[in-house]
């Protein structure tokens, strides 16, 4: 928890100089909303699931149109593992807060990057026959990603993105050990600036 708070504090300190130089006459041009739709790829233990939908929405602000802060919500799909007599599944959702950057490198083409802290809520379930038992777990983690895209207009951009979400399930010190998972996501995105 202390490492996560330290990372969040360092992110705020890193962005602060850009906030101080923000041009007040075009502040609204720097606010954005972005939506992603794609596929998630779970890597946890011996389970690999590449068939689930990934959805993400983010709101943010970039000072000078380059570096800023963002908040968002992501649905990472559902990983499922079937056995002869039972099946297990996990369905995480995350709230995220972090830093974001966008850099136009040639005409309307750009690269993006973002990363930061996430808070996950994962619903785990075990199904035996017609009976299902489920439990929720809240944990801290991190996310990071990069993308490339094209500014279609001054206010609308399309992109292709890769993101990695590091999530956990369970509690430290509980009878069951805590499970760590990396969820890689591949998506197309639309960003609208206001």
Q: What pLDDT, in 10s, does the model give residues 2-34?
A: 555 455 444 444 544 444 444 444 555 689 999
Q: Which pTM does this prediction carry?
A: 0.79
pLDDT tops 80 at residue 99: yes
* pLDDT, position 102: 95
The answer to whether 78 touches 88, Cβ cutoff 8 Å, is: no
For the chain, give the longest Cα–Cα distance.
64
Q: What is the mean pLDDT of residues 32-41?
A: 95
Region 2-79+91-117+140-169+177-193: CATH code: 2.40.160.20
Task: Give residue limits of the domains in the chain.
Answer: 2-79+91-117+140-169+177-193
Mean pLDDT across the chain: 83
The answer to whether 102 touches 83, Cβ cutoff 8 Å, is: no
Owner of token pair 């799909």: 77
**Dist CA 144 CA 165 (whole Å):** 7
Q: What pLDDT, in 10s, does the model give residues 102-125?
A: 999 999 999 999 999 999 998 888
């Amino acid at each position: 928890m202390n490492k996560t708070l330290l990372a969040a504090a360092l992110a705020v300190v890193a962005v602060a100089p850009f906030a101080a130089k923000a041009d007040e006459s075009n502040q609204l041009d720097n606010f954005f909303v972005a939506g992603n739709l794609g596929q998630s790829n779970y890597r946890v233990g011996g389970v690999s699931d590449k068939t689930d939908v990934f959805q993400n929405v983010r709101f943010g602000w970039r000072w000078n149109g380059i570096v800023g802060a963002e908040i968002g919500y992501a649905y990472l799909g559902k990983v499922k593992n079937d056995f002869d007599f039972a099946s297990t599944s996990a369905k995480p959702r995350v709230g995220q807060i972090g830093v974001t950057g966008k850099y136009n490198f040639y005409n309307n083409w750009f690269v993006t990057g973002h990363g930061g802290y996430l808070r996950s809520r994962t619903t785990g379930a075990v199904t035996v026959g017609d009976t299902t038992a489920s439990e929720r777990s809240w944990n801290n983690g991190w996310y990071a990603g990069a993308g490339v895209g094209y500014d279609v207009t001054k206010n609308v951009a399309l992109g292709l993105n890769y993101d990695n979400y590091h999530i956990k399930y369970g509690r430290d010190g509980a009878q069951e050990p805590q499970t760590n998972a990396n969820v890689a996501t591949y998506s197309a995105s639309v960003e609208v600036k206001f």
